Each structure stands twice: as structure tokens, then as C-alpha cells.
Chains A and B, each alone.
Chain A
Amino acid sequence: DAKTTQPNSMESNEEEPVHLPCNHSTISGTDYIHWYRQLPSQGPEYVIHGLTSNVNNRMASLAIAEDRKSSTLILHRATLRDAAVYYCILKNSGYALNFGKGTSLLVTP
């Protein structure tokens, strides 16, 4: 599996945008970029995924670099409920989700 690199932790103020980076320099052409988050005492929650183009949904936006070696998850207005561990995962056919350590996001009022 291709690996991803994320900062261990980030901090944001409530109601401000948050940009969570992910490096994946060994990504292959068929790897999808997935983001999941895990709130305390809950199972992981799917956030968004994409292949080459930027993606938007009700939860977040995913910006993918042109060379696909990095991506950024964007939370447009962080709330206290967004405090979680965010995982950037490369997903290809036949392989399980490799969660890694993720980024622990702290949101302060």
C-alpha cells in the first residue's frame, strides 16, 4: 500500500476554516484518496474521497494537487463537533483501509 504522511496534530479556532494536509508522494494512478474521521468513543466516519479532481460535499472539500502527490481536506467552518482524528487513506481495489496515525484536530472556542 502507498503511504500517507499527516501532521500528528493541528489546532483551530471555532468558526474558522481548517486545512488538513496529507502527503502521498508514492500514490499510484488508480489510488483513490479517502478521508475518514473518528470522534471520541465512535467508529470512523467517512468524510470524502476523490481521484483527480477537487470534490465537495456537505461535510468538507477535498483539494487534490495536480500531480496527486498531496491533498488537503478543508473544513469550511470548524465547530467543536469537528474535533476528531482525521485519517487520509489511499484506497485501491482489493486492499483494506490502512488508517495510519492520522491528525488529531483540536477546535477551541
Chain B
Amino acid sequence: KAGVTQTPRYLIKTRGQQVTLSCSPISGHRSVSWYQQTPGQGLQFLFEYFSETQRNKGNFPGRFSGRQFSNSRSEMNVSTLELGDSALYLCASSLVPGWGDYGYTFGSGTRLTVV
């Protein structure tokens, strides 16, 4: 069974540019969540999608956005990149959104470096 696939694995962008990251969940999983991990702030929740609808959003500026497609694949976009956006971006999929009785499967992440 394929795991959660995130592409690309590594990305280098310049300040002011925008970036799109992709996540393919485990087959049959309909919920996709995104997290940002930095050395200073640790793992922070960005947003969660289910059935193409954003169900939950973390405390990030509007430059961070996402969407989910009908096949449950998800993308996140960061516009007007800042140096502080350099981080590991992790995607997690789950069978059922938000429910405590199910675990999440994480991808290996996309390492974004903003220069």
C-alpha cells in the first residue's frame, strides 16, 4: 500500500516568489492536513481538507492557502515568500477528518528554502 507522497522533496525559491506543494494521500483516505515544521516553532498546523472543503485552519497568514481535488490529492500554495517560510512542510492523510479514533499517516515532507 503506497504511503503519503509529497512532491517535490526539496525546493529553493527566492523571496517574493510563490510556491505550490503537492500531496497524494493514501488510497481511500479522504482527509489531508498540512503542517509546517521549523526548528524554532516545531510542528504547527496549517489546514485540513476533506471532500474538497477546508474544515480547519491554523494561525497562519492568508499567504498560505490550499485546496483539495476530487481524488483527495491536495496542494498548498505560499505566495510572496519570506525568509521565515523556510521550513519542512508535511502532509498527513487520515481516513476520517478530525476524529480522535483514527491515526494520521505523514509523508516525508517538502523541504522549502527561501533565499
A residues within 8 Å of B by Cβ?
30-32, 34, 36, 42-46, 49, 51, 87, 91-101
B residues within 8 Å of A by Cβ?
4, 33, 35, 42-43, 45, 48, 55-56, 58, 90, 92, 98-101, 103-109
Chain A residues near B98 (CB-CB < 8 A): 93-96
Please list 27 pairs of residues, one from A and one from B, whose beta carbons are closer than 8 Å in the complex, sorted by A's number.
A31-B100, A34-B103, A36-B104, A42-B108, A42-B109, A43-B4, A43-B90, A43-B106, A43-B108, A43-B109, A44-B92, A45-B106, A49-B100, A49-B101, A51-B101, A87-B43, A91-B100, A93-B99, A93-B100, A94-B55, A94-B98, A96-B33, A96-B48, A97-B33, A97-B35, A97-B92, A98-B45
Chain A residues near B35 (CB-CB < 8 A): 97, 99
Complex CA gap A51/B105 in Å reads: 19
Expressed in whole angstroms, the minimum distance between the Cβ of B42 and any Cβ of chain A is 6
